[in-house]
Structure 1
Amino acid sequence: MSDTNLNTAVPTAAPGTSEASAGTLAASGANQTPAPAVSTGPQRDFPPSAEKVLIIGLDGATFDILKPMMDSGRMPNLTRLVNEGSSGILYSTQPPITPAAWTTFMTGKGPGRHGIVDFERYDVATGKLSFNSTYEIRERTIWEILSEKGFQVGSIHVPMTYPPRKVNGFMVSGFETPSVAAEFTWPPDLKQEILRRWPTYSYRADWKRRVLGRDKTLRRNLRHIERSFHQGAELATFCGDRCGWDVLMVLFKLVDNLQHKTWKYLDPKTSSRYPHAAALAANCFVELDKALGTLFDYARRHSASVLMMS
C-alpha cells in the first residue's frame, strides 16, 4: 500500500473530568486484581505515579470525515470523548506517510534520525527494493524505553513493529507482517492463542475489484473492514487481560484503506451523488465507533486515560 499516507492527525486527549481519566496507576492497582504478566521485566525503582494510558491510532483519519459523522450522530462514543477532552489538528511528518509518521511517534525522532522514510528501502547490495522492518529503526522506541523503566506495555497492529521486539509485555505486529505463518507476536506463544481464538485472523486489507461484483463486492469489502475494527478492539482487551498493561496501544490501519477506496462516497462534497454506496461506507464508521466504545469502556474499568491520534 505504497499510496498510503498520513495527511491529517486527529488527537483526542484523555477527558479531564470523565471516568476514563480517573485514578493513578497506584490507585487502579489497589482496586483491581492484576492480570498475570508474561514477562516480568525490571522492577521499578520509583513508586508508580502515572495513570494507565490507552492509546488508539486511527491511521489516516481526518476531521474532514469524522466531524460530519459525529455531527450526524453516527459516532456518539467519539463525540463524547472529543467533547469531554481536548482535540485538534496535528502536523504530520515529512514525508507524511504511514511508516515514517508512526515510527516518529514511537521514537520521538524525525525520519532523518530514526531511518524510516517509506514502506520500502533501496538495498545497495542487491539493487532491489526491500520492505522496511524493525531492523531498520535506528532509535529506541517508546515500548523499549517504558519496558526498561519497569512498565508493562502492549502494542497491537502498530505499523513498523515487525518483527516484534522483546518488551516487558506483549506486541502483535502490524500490516507489514508477511503472513500469519511468520512470528508476529511477542511473546511467541501469544501467536497460537490468537489463531485459536480467531481462526480467520486478519491484519491487512483484502479489497476485491468492484468490476467483478459491483454492489455485492463493495458490501463484501466493507464488511471485512468492519470486522477488522471489532477484531482490533477484541484483541486489545484479550491481550491486555492475558498479559497485563500500563501503556496499551491498538491501531486501526484499515481506516486509511477505507478512505482511499471510498473517498468519493465519504466526502460531504461528493457523497450525495452516490447515496447507496455512501450509506454503506458511512456504516463502517458506525462500526468503528462501536469498537471505540468497547475500548473506552475497557479504559474506564482500568482507570486509564485515553489518547487518540492519527
Structure 2
Amino acid sequence: MPGPAPRVVFLGLDGATEAVLRPAFERGWMPNLEALWDRSATGTLWSSEPMVTPVAWTSFLTGCNPPTHGIHEFHAIDPAARTIIPNHAGRIRVPTLWDAISESGREVVSLGLPMTYPPPDVRGIVVAGSDAPGLQWAFAQCPEFGEEIFRDLPGYSHKVLWKRRPRTLDELRSVSLRNREVFRAQAGAAERADARCDWSAMMVHFHNLDGIQHRLWPYLDLDETAAHQPEWTAEVVACLRELDEAVGRLLELASRRDAAVIALSDHGFGPCRALVDVNGLLCRAGLQRRLPYGTRLSYRLSRIRDRFDRWKRRRSPEGTSRRGPRSIEGEVGCDWSRTAAFAPFGQLCGSIFLNEDLVSGSSAAGRTIGEIIDALRAAEDPDTGLPLFADAFDVAERYNLDPAAEGLPDVLAPSTDGYQAMAKWAPFSRSLLRPDPNLPATHRYDGVIAIDAPGVSPDTRLDAELPDVAPTALALLGQAVPEFMEGRILDEAFDRDEASIGTAATGGPGIRPARRPIG
C-alpha cells in the first residue's frame, strides 16, 4: 500500500450476510453497497463466541477476544449480591479503538454503536447505541450535538424498532416507514457530525438491519422459508433501499474526506429452525429440578420484588428501569435444594452456572461441569439429527480464569447455526424445542467485511475475525497497534507489490499473529 489513509469510515451493518447481500445486489435493491463491494476486498468476518451484540461489537471495538475484553453476554452475575447485572461499556477491561485514536490526539465520531454507554472519555462525538437507557442518555457525551439532532433530525432514534414480527400489513407499513426515517436520520447525523468534528474515524451503526432480518426473513424470498407475499416484500425492500441510500450518502462523505471505508457486520443470518430450552435440558439431565405447581411462592415473590424495583427506578430522577440488577431467584424458577446447574440468562448460547450452595469443592464442581458438557454435546434435534450446540466448554479451563470471580458462566454452549438457545421458557412446557413464528431467522457465525482503501486488491477474498478489524484500521491510519490487541492486520487485502500497511503502521512485520482462544 502506498501510504496510510487520513481517515476511516466504518459502516456497521448489523447482521449483514452474503445470503441477503448477494441477492439484493442481483435484484438491484442496494446499488451503493454493490458498488462498494465491487471495488473492495471482501469476504467472511467470523463472529464472536457467542455471536451476540455486546460480545461481537466489543470484539470489534477492542481488537480482542472475550476472555481478554471481559464481555461474554448481555449480562453477568454479581456473586456477592446474587443478582443479574447488565454488561455495559464500563465493564470492558481493555482500552478500545476509540481510546487509541483519541490518545494519539485525533478525534472520533461514533453513532449508535452498542457498548459505548456509559460514553467513553474520548475526543470527538460519541452517541451511544440501543443499550443506552434513553435517547437523551445516548447523547450524554455530546449534549449540544444532541440538541441539534433533536431539533433538526427528529427522526433519529437509537432504539431497536422491530420488537416482533408484524401481525398485519398495516403494522408492517408503519414500522417500515419509521425504520426508513431512522436510516435517513442516521446519515444526516453523520453529515452534521462531520461539520462539527475533524475526525479520523467515523462509525455509523445500522442496528435495525438486524431486526429486519430477525422478523421479516421470509419476505426477502431467499430460500425454502420464502412467504411469497409481494406487498410485504415491497415494504422490506423499501427498508433495504433506504439503508442503501444512507450508505450512499456516507460513501460520498468518505470520498470528500479521502477516507478509507470498512463495512462490516457482527454476525451473519439465516433461518431459525427452533428455539432450545437450556434449563429444560438441564432438568432432563437430572441437573436441575423445577418447582412443582403450587410451590412457586418464593419465585413469584422474587419476581414481584424485581418488578417493584424497576417501577421505583422508572420514577427516579434518572427515569429508567433498564440498567438495574435482577434477582437470580426471580429469573429461574427451580428448587434450589435439588438444582446443581442453572441458566439465568442467555440467547444463542447456553450460559450455565453451578449452584455453589449444592455443588461445593473442586472435585464436585469438575464432575458437574463434565455432566453439563456431556448433556449439551449430546443434545440433538430429533427431526434432523443435528446437534443443538456448536460446542460446550468449561470456561475456567478454556479461558484460564475464575468464572465465579468475574460473574461468568461455568459452562458456555454456543448454539449451532439455525438454532437459538434460550434461558427463558414457558415454566410448564414439556417441549425442549419449538419453532417461533415471531423469530423466523437468527444469527449465524459468518458475517461480512469489505475494505475500500488505497492499495486495496478488489479480487482478494478475506477470511477474517472481528478482532482483526481494529488493528487493520489503526494500520490504515498509520498508528501503532497496541500490544494487547489480539487481532491481526489484514495485509492480504492489499496489493503485495506495494508497501505493507503493517510495516507502515508498526515498523515490524506486516501480519501480526492472532492470539485466538485456546481450543
C-alpha displacement of 1:251 = 0.6
Q: Does 1:88 align with 2:57?
A: no
Equivalent AA in structure 2 for residue 206 of structure 1: L
Residue of 199, 205, 229 corresponding to 1:274 = 229
Indicate conservation of the 8 Å contact 2:128/2:138, yes or no: no
Alpha-carbon distance between aligned partners in 1 of 2:252 and 2:136, rounded to the nearest angstrom = 33
TM-score of the superposition, structure 1-length normalised? 0.80
Instruction: State the 1:202 CA deviation.
Output: 1.4
**2:221 counterpart of 1:254:** no
| 1:205 and 1:225 in contact (8 A); partners too | no
Name the structure 1 match of 2:115.
Answer: 160
Structure 1, unmatched stretches of 5+, are 1-15, 17-22, 25-48
Q: Deviations over 1:164-223 (max 9, x none)?
A: 111111100111010124263423432222222233531112346667x61111111111
Paired amino acid for 1:230: R
Which deviates the most, 112-121 or 266-275? Answer: 266-275
Provide the aligned length of Structure 1 versus Structure 2: 264
For structure 2, which runs of at least 5 residues remain unmatched after alignment? 266-519
| Structure 2 CA distance for aligned equivalents of residues 114 and 75 of structure 1 | 35
TM-score with structure 2 setting the length: 0.49
Please give the alpha-carbon distance, in whole angstroms, between the structure 2 residues aligned to 1:255 and 1:172: 18
The equivalent residue for 2:172 is: 218
* RMSD between superposed Cα atoms in Å: 2.0
2:95 aligns with: 140
Residue 290 of structure 1 corresponds to which residue in structure 2?
245
Give the secondary structure class of the aligned counterpart of 1:153. strand
Q: Tell me which of the two structures has the higher relative contact order, counting C-alpha pairs closer than 8 angstroms and 6 or more residues apart.
A: 1
Within a 5 Å distance, the mapping from 1:49-128 to structure 2 comes to: 50-128=5-83
Amino acid of the structure 1 residue aligned with 2:239: C
Q: Deviations over 1:13-58 (max 9, x none)?
A: xxx9xxxxxx97xxxxxxxxxxxxxxxxxxxxxxxx5421111110
Structure 1 residues 290 and 199, CA gap change in structure 2 (3 angstroms): closer
**Aligned position for 2:181:** 227
Q: Relative to structure 1, is the Cα distance of residues 53 and 210 closer, same or farther in structure 2, using a 3 angstrom cutoff?
A: closer
Measure, in 2, the Cα distance between the counterparts of 1:73 and 1:205.
26
Computing the radius of gyration from Cα coordinates, the structure with the larger value is: 2
Q: Distance in 1 between matches of 2:173 and 2:138?
A: 32
Larger helix proportion of the pair = 1
Inter-partner Cα distance in structure 2 for 1:153 and 1:132: 23
**Structure 2 letter corresponding to 1:252:** F
8 Å contact 1:271–1:278 — kept in the other structure? no
Distance 2:135 2:162 in 1: 18
Q: Which residue of 2 aligns with 1:307?
A: 262
Amino acid in structure 2 at the alignment position of 1:261: R
Match of 1:238, SS state, is helix
Q: Deviations over 1:269-310 (max 9, x none)?
A: 133522221221122111111111111111111111111000
